[in-house]
Structure 1
């Protein structure tokens, strides 16, 4: 077992799983980060756009998008580590907290933009 890999809290425990599973876990982590970049870009684009929305609601929606874009990579890292540890111990995979954050972000932004259109 190689213990010099980072993070040691993940790679220093259990045994190496089938590499295909670790690679799939890494691809999921990278997909979450692409999603976070899209949220950040969406927040900037919404605020910079000339859309005729209520200014306060447009700003709030932009902040929520930016907040989601900053939070999701942190949650994705934690989820990657939890999943990798579960794979290394051949135990059940943990539930996704990152998906819940994304759903909440999208719902709040959708409500704010809808209200911004109405008012």
Structure 2
């Protein structure tokens, strides 16, 4: 790749660092980012559906679960982008890969939503 082509790659602070890694690793990192983005879309859609369908659930818990899903769906893409940049820089600089915290956060969120929906069912 020419020097001029590297200058136009976005984000510059990622692609200006280190050396070009094996393309398979970069593409795998990108697929992971896109998977998190699809997950965010599903979380947002689930939150909208939960509230819009007007299910016979306790309204307060149903609304809380919907807001948690929509909020998490909104926050996931920027966090996924942050993890993508950290991983890509580590690949380019031949450093150990950073830990992935997004999966843990989403796992906790889904557990909280499950508990809220269970309460909504029990208390209807």
Structure 1 and Structure 2 fold alike (TM over 0.5)? yes
Which SS does the other structure have where 1:13 is aligned?
coil
Following TM superposition, by how much is the alpha carbon of 1:50 offset from its aligned partner in structure 2, in angstroms? Answer: 2.8
Using the size of structure 1 for normalisation, the TM-score is: 0.96
2:77 counterpart residue number: 73
Aligned ranges 1:69-108 → 2 under 5 Å? 69-108=73-112
Looking at structure 1, the residues matched to 87 and 19 of structure 2 have their Cα atoms a distance apart, in angstroms, of 14
2:16 counterpart residue number: 12
Following TM superposition, by how much is the alpha carbon of 1:39 offset from its aligned partner in structure 2, in angstroms? Answer: 0.3
State the superposition RMSD in angstroms. 0.9
1:38 counterpart residue number: 42
2:15 matches 1:49:
no
Please tell me whether the aligned partners of residues 75 and 97 of structure 1 are also in contact (alpha carbons under 8 angstroms).
no
Which SS does the other structure have where 1:34 is aligned?
helix
Following TM superposition, by how much is the alpha carbon of 1:13 offset from its aligned partner in structure 2, in angstroms? Answer: 0.6
Runs of 4+ with >6 A deviation: none
Following TM superposition, by how much is the alpha carbon of 1:3 offset from its aligned partner in structure 2, in angstroms? Answer: 2.7
Uncovered stretches (5+) of structure 1, i.e. residues with no partner: none
What is the total number of aligned residue pairs between the two structures?
119
Looking at structure 2, the residues matched to 30 and 104 of structure 1 have their Cα atoms a distance apart, in angstroms, of 21
Q: 1:40-97 CA distances to partner (integer Å, 9 max, x unpaired)?
A: 1000000011321110000000000001100110110000000000000111111112
Uncovered stretches (5+) of structure 2, i.e. residues with no partner: none
Q: 1:87-113 CA distances to partner (integer Å, 9 max, x unpaired)?
A: 001111111121122112101100100
